[in-house]
Structures are given as structure tokens and as C-alpha cells.
């Protein structure tokens, strides 16, 4: 683990490029420098929160804040590998508590519905089925696959092959793939009744 070059206490997660040099910084040190440079006051915010998913299971999220010239970004990452992740963006002069509330609301909506049903065939082979003919997922790097992503759905990782097998139940149908920025709100798709829309 590389330590922050400024405080020498926390893990360095950010590389800050300056005119003739660069520094590896922890999130707190980066935020302090950026807040000073941008003349922004960072309001005290919760660092974690827990909410229940569609099964009633409590999910705990770590909150990270990052100011930059484009605004203030908040990200909530579940405290497990390849779990749920959500993010929001506000202006530099935004109400940061309201922005956090928006993030919590976004997470609550995101974990409040099941999108993939899993089960086991009588022969013992597991299967996954897309519910309601659409799903919203997060694309992640898969170190076990050459150039193919993982897709995080329902807070669980699915390989590209698993996603492909789920889509094969729609053989012969049309598909619409839309990609959104991490901080965007993905609109709920209604889809026509003949099952021809799948949003990833």
C-alpha cells in the first residue's frame, strides 16, 4: 500500500498533477488542497450509511467526496467487493447535505428492486434470468477476462458470458443498449409489451 505523500498516514488513492510535479494523495488531503484552491468549504457529512435492499438485507456504504473545478462529486460504495455503487454531482456552491441526501435516495431506489432472478435447474446447473425485460448495471474491469467487463447487477458481479446467456432467452428480439455517466439518473424504461427493450 502506498502512503499519502502529504500526511504519510492514509492510503494514497489519487495522483494529483501540478505544473512540474505530481503527488500521490489520500482522499482527505486531496479534498483539503482542492477545497483551498477552489475556495470551497467542505461541510461535515456522514462517512457511512446503511439501508435495506429489496430482500430486507442491510447494506452498508462508504461515502467519498471529491471537489474539483467541475463541481462536487459524492460516491457511495458498498463495503464488499463488486457491491453496489452510486454517485451524484452538484455545483461547487451546492448544499452538500442535500447532495448527500440525493445520494442516499439514489442508493435506496437502486437497491430497492430486484433485476435478476437466480436459481438452480434440477440437474444442479445454476441459472440467471432478467426480470421485467431490462436491467441497469455498472461496468467494471474483470482481471480474469481478456478485454471483457464484469457487469454489476443487484450488487453482484456477472461475467460478460453470464450476461450473454441471460440475453439468449431473448433470441430473435431487438435490444437497445444505453450508456450513462456514473452520476446520471438512469430513467426507468417502460418498454413495449412485446419484450423488445433491454437497457444495460
Check residue 2 and give its pLDDT.
86
- Tell me the pTM: 0.85
Give the separation between CA 70 and CA 9, rounded to whole angstroms. 28
**DSSP strand pairing (85-90 vs 116-120):** unpaired
Closest CA to 31 of 13, 57, 18, 48: 13
Give the number of other CB atoms < 10 A from CB of residue 58.
8
**DSSP strand pairing (71-78 vs 156-159):** unpaired
**DSSP strand pairing (71-78 vs 85-90):** antiparallel
CB 30 within 8 A of CB 14: yes
Check residue 189 and give its pLDDT.
65
Check residue 198 and give its pLDDT.
43
pLDDT tens digits, the chain, 200 residues: what are they? 789 988 988 888 888 877 778 889 999 999 999 999 999 999 999 999 999 999 999 999 999 999 999 999 999 999 999 999 999 999 999 999 999 999 999 999 999 999 999 999 899 888 999 999 999 999 999 998 888 999 999 999 999 999 999 999 999 999 998 999 999 998 876 544 444 444 44
Amino acid at each position: 500500500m502506498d502512503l499519502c505523500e502529504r500526511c504519510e498516514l492514509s492510503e494514497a488513492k489519487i495522483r494529483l498533477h501540478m505544473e512540474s510535479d505530481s503527488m500521490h494523495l489520500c482522499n482527505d488531503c486531496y479534498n483539503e488542497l482542492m477545497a483551498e484552491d477552489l475556495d470551497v468549504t467542505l461541510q461535515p457529512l456522514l462517512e457511512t450509511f446503511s439501508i435495506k435492499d429489496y430482500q430486507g438485507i442491510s447494506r452498508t456504504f462508504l461515502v467519498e467526496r471529491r471537489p474539483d473545478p467541475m463541481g462536487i462529486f459524492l460516491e457511495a460504495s458498498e463495503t464488499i467487493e463488486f457491491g453496489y455503487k452510486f454517485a451524484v454531482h452538484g455545483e461547487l456552491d451546492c448544499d452538500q447535505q442535500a447532495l448527500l441526501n440525493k445520494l442516499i435516495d439514489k442508493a435506496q431506489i437502486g437497491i430497492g428492486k430486484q433485476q435478476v432472478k437466480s436459481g438452480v435447474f434440477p440437474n444442479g446447473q445454476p441459472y440467471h434470468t432478467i426480470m421485467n425485460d431490462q436491467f441497469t448495471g455498472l461496468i467494471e474491469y474483470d482481471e480474469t477476462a481478456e478485454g471483457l467487463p464484469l457487469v454489476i447487477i443487484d450488487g453482484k458481479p456477472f461475467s460478460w458470458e453470464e450476461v450473454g446467456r441471460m440475453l439468449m432467452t431473448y433470441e430473435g428480439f431487438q435490444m437497445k443498449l444505453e450508456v450513462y455517466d456514473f452520476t446520471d439518473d438512469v430513467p426507468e424504461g417502460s418498454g413495449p409489451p412485446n419484450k423488445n427493450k433491454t437497457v444495460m
